[in-house]
Chains A and B, each alone.
Chain A
Amino acid sequence: MSGIHDFIDNEVKNNDVVLFMKGTPQFPQCGFSGQVVQILDYVGVDYKGINVLADADLRQGIKDYSNWPTIPQLYVKGEFVGGCDIVREMFQSGELQTHLQGQGIAVKGAA
């Protein structure tokens, strides 16, 4: 388990925006993951998608790492932002874009 913890820790600390999801950004395999992909693409932010279905240890490991029972999970600058409902609420209120920009992350579609 510590191997998975270190893997996750490394990913969220070395990538500005990381989405743990089911499937890939090109081919989401869950409606909730797909919604977050659509939002991130619309906002125009670069992010790394990590498919938790590729590894059973990772699928459980990310739940333990975040103390969060569901997928998807979005991290920005090493900090847990939330799952699908929270990301969507933040997007609709404009907070997501503000949060990203406040962290110094380029948001292409912000204009």
Chain B
Amino acid sequence: MSVKSRIEYRLAQALSPDRLEVINESHLHAGHQPAFDGGGETHMRIRIVSASFAGLSRVARHRMVNELVKPEFDAGLHALAIEAAAPGEPVRW
């Protein structure tokens, strides 16, 4: 099971998102460290719309996502971009 699939599963289970995209952007970061050849799943982007975020600060939303994805950081995930919105908030995707 890919990192992308595991992240999608964890977020879907915990946050019941209206929309969810998990994008592997590792190829954009190939070569910036010797270990990154761009072929792995080191750099991911999460785009998520969930009612769970309503009324929460940006930091609180990111903390929720980071906590759910923590096993992937422990397993070698290097970078995570997060775009978290509540339903009705403007998104650019």
Contacts and interface: CB of A to CB of B under 8 A. Distances in A.
Interface of A: 30-32, 67-70, 80-86, 89-90
- In this complex, the interface size class of chain B, counting residues with CB under 8 Å from chain A, is 10 to 19
A67 B29 contact: no
A68 B79 CA distance: 12
Interface of B is mostly: helix
Interface in B71-93: 73, 79-83
B35 interface: no
B1 interface: no
A31 B62 contact: no
Contact of B62 (A30, A83, A90): A83
A68 B32 contact: no
Contacts of B6: none
A27 to B, nearest CB: 14
9 tightest Cβ-Cβ pairs between the two chains A and B: A86-B58, A69-B73, A69-B66, A85-B82, A82-B59, A85-B81, A82-B58, A70-B80, A70-B79
A30 B70 CA distance: 21
B27 interface: no
Contacts of A30: 32
A88 to B, nearest CB: 10
A83 B58 CA distance: 10
